[in-house]
Chains A and B, each alone.
Chain A
């Protein structure tokens, strides 16, 4: 493998890991703050991609689709928290698993009623549609680079909000000790609602940015859900930095696994997960058990 091919694969790995991070950070935030395991997270990723397809087809603009898609997901997140998720706080994990499974069935059926079973594609914005000519027969799409840049900005924003702002302080305090935060007079129920909505919006955003380079199809949420779980298990639950580490590890493992060990590439990330479980059961950046 020459240097250029290696560089291209490395970029692919990072880009893949970045999108994974967007989706998984939403999942880990929701679990870390709300203590709720949300299996429907992947369904919102799928929904984001469909919204991007639908809105872009109507308006002709990917940017409108992006903003509107995230906004819709955010509002849906607020509504869902208010109607369903709120009743799950303090309930056992089984109830959370089954409620979110019920949500998946409902969302999937709505998707089928609204968009059908067809596979769709979305065009990237015109000025990002080209590609860089690297060598005579090797080029790299501009849009993939743009994803890397965009996800980096979003990741930086997430970290800034969490580490530098008052909201971030509340979120961190809540992840540390829910009861104590509430006792200190912080309106935690409101925080919960917005964190859930942000988590859902991040999942949808992941689906929106991936739509132009992948196809939009009904089962896309399931694969992403499993991958986000693996990311969270690798990085440690509730840790956004852990999600970043886990997502990049999976991006690298999956991309280079397909290059070097194509026959076993589909199970490599699970081997990685097994290894991390043997080494640190609570994840690479997870807190140790008391």
Chain B
């Protein structure tokens, strides 16, 4: 325990020091990576902890971005305190409706249904004239917090933006850790490991999964809000399933069973993409091959390489089936 706390403190110190040590471009790049990490952790609540392979989280991500774009008043900054909750609410509502329908199905059906509903939202913004249709729309000014005309927090500054994203990221890690360690999280994991047994123990599986799915969608919305604010632009591709699948790759790289693993996966994949884009025109080909190799050679994610590299053993990786038995005491 002490060792992992030490690592956390060191990483936190490094994250705080980063904006003062590197040029602005890399601060923006770090913000982008953290936003994707937040999205990957959100998705992993459904995929890793709930066993629900969702291919529509990009839709929740993009929907929140579009809410910000639609609520932004022309060339003036929107208010963070009103637009962020509304954006997250929109994503949560979409997750509630899609989840309620998709959770009537299992396994491969669930994948197909989430994919189809996610693409429905994609086509909604792509084919209609809402917010510029297939061309997308601009978020001209970054949101701010202002009270009585005095600006308290201006996301226009890359450093301020980075710290706000970092704060939300840490809040996300805390929230997800709390959820996963709570009786609710144990029940969710029990339903993943053995649905029939969890059901016969009296857990309301559907409701538990739906809540997890909605929370996961809402956090994806937070990430999407900040992504739209950072790029100053939203386009239907933000909602497309290729992004959902890419985030799934991040989750797999980081490992499915931990809260912060997907964050690591996101940092690795975003860094890798940046590197490949800089060196070759065919970066998608290389990325595709890497994905295939990871899936075939490392079923438990790149994390299983860590013990080999660092010489430590992964203790938390293998949680036995007794999780289901523990959760009985809810």
Q: Mark B203-244, 1 if CB is under 8 A from A, else 0.
A: 000000000000000000000000000000000000001100
A237→B292 contact, CB < 8 A: no
Which of B102, B245, B284 has a CB less than 8 Å from the CB of A98?
A: B245
B253 — nearest CB in chain A belongs to which residue? A98
CA of A68 to CA of B112 in the docked complex: distance in angstroms? 31
A87→B249 contact, CB < 8 A: no
Interface-located stretch among B123-131, B157-165, B320-328 = B123-131
* Nearest-Cβ distance from residue B85 to partner chain A, whole angstroms: 26
Contact status of A98 and B288, CB under 8 A, knowing A93-B53, A229-B116: no
Q: Answer whether residue A129 sits at the interface, using C-beta atoms and an 8 A cutoff.
A: no
* Nearest-Cβ distance from residue A184 to partner chain B, whole angstroms: 25
Which of A98, A110, A229 has a CB less than 8 Å from the CB of B112?
A: A229
CA of A114 to CA of B299 in the docked complex: distance in angstroms? 32
Residues of chain B lying within 8 A (CB to CB) of residue A277: 101-102, 104-105, 113
CA of A7 to CA of B245 in the docked complex: distance in angstroms? 41
A99→B295 contact, CB < 8 A: yes
CA of A84 to CA of B296 in the docked complex: distance in angstroms? 8
Q: Answer whether residue A288 sits at the interface, using C-beta atoms and an 8 A cutoff.
A: no
Q: Tell me the B280-303 residues at the A interface (CB within 8 Å).
A: 282, 284-285, 287-292, 294-296, 299
CA of A267 to CA of B116 in the docked complex: distance in angstroms? 10
B127→A102 contact, CB < 8 A: no
CA of A101 to CA of B53 in the docked complex: distance in angstroms? 14
CA of A243 to CA of B205 in the docked complex: distance in angstroms? 30
* Nearest-Cβ distance from residue A257 to partner chain B, whole angstroms: 12
Which of B116, B249, B289 has a CB less than 8 Å from the CB of A106?
A: B289
CA of A39 to CA of B288 in the docked complex: distance in angstroms? 13
Interchain Cβ contacts under 8 Å between A and B, 24 examples: A39-B245, A84-B296, A91-B299, A97-B53, A97-B248, A98-B248, A98-B291, A98-B294, A106-B284, A106-B285, A106-B289, A106-B292, A108-B288, A109-B282, A109-B285, A232-B112, A233-B113, A266-B123, A267-B120, A270-B116, A270-B120, A273-B113, A273-B117, A277-B101
Q: Answer whether residue A123 sits at the interface, using C-beta atoms and an 8 A cutoff.
A: no
B109→A233 contact, CB < 8 A: yes
Q: Answer whether residue B252 sits at the interface, using C-beta atoms and an 8 A cutoff.
A: yes
Which of A91, A93, A110, A230 has a CB less than 8 Å from the CB of B285?
A: A110
Q: Tell me the B96-139 residues at the A interface (CB within 8 Å).
A: 101-102, 104-109, 111-113, 115-117, 119-120, 123-124, 127-128
Q: Answer whether residue A105 sits at the interface, using C-beta atoms and an 8 A cutoff.
A: yes
Q: Tell me the A79-137 residues at the B interface (CB within 8 Å).
A: 84, 87, 91, 93-95, 97-99, 101-106, 108-110, 113
A97→B296 contact, CB < 8 A: no
Residues of chain A lying within 8 A (CB to CB) of residue B288: 101-106, 108-109
Contact status of A99 and B296, CB under 8 A, knowing A94-B47, A226-B116, A230-B116: yes
Other A-B contacts than A39-B245, A84-B292, A101-B249, 11 sampled, CB-CB below 8 A, are A37-B111, A91-B299, A95-B295, A98-B249, A101-B248, A106-B292, A229-B112, A229-B115, A230-B112, A232-B112, A266-B124
* Nearest-Cβ distance from residue B286 to partner chain A, whole angstroms: 9
A274→B282 contact, CB < 8 A: no
B291 — nearest CB in chain A belongs to which residue? A102
What is the size category of the interface that chain B forms with chain A? 35 or more
B124→A267 contact, CB < 8 A: yes
A281→B248 contact, CB < 8 A: no
Please give me the 4 A-B residue pairs with the lowest Cβ-Cβ distance, nearest first: A105-B288, A102-B291, A109-B285, A102-B292
Q: Tell me the A23-66 residues at the B interface (CB within 8 Å).
A: 31, 37, 39
Residues of chain A lying within 8 A (CB to CB) of residue B116: 226, 229-230, 233, 270, 273
Residues of chain B lying within 8 A (CB to CB) of residue A230: 112, 116
CA of A210 to CA of B225 in the docked complex: distance in angstroms? 39
Residues of chain B lying within 8 A (CB to CB) of residue A110: 285
B53→A109 contact, CB < 8 A: no
* Nearest-Cβ distance from residue B126 to partner chain A, whole angstroms: 8
* Nearest-Cβ distance from residue A285 to partner chain B, whole angstroms: 14
* Nearest-Cβ distance from residue B112 to partner chain A, whole angstroms: 4
CA of A234 to CA of B116 in the docked complex: distance in angstroms? 12
Q: Answer whether residue B190 sits at the interface, using C-beta atoms and an 8 A cutoff.
A: no
Q: Answer whether residue A1 sits at the interface, using C-beta atoms and an 8 A cutoff.
A: no
CA of A289 to CA of B104 in the docked complex: distance in angstroms? 11
Residues of chain B lying within 8 A (CB to CB) of residue A282: 105, 109
A102→B120 contact, CB < 8 A: no
Residues of chain B lying within 8 A (CB to CB) of residue A98: 245, 248-249, 252, 291, 294-295
Q: Tell me the A227-286 residues at the B interface (CB within 8 Å).
A: 229-230, 232-233, 237, 263, 266-267, 270, 273-274, 277-278, 281-282
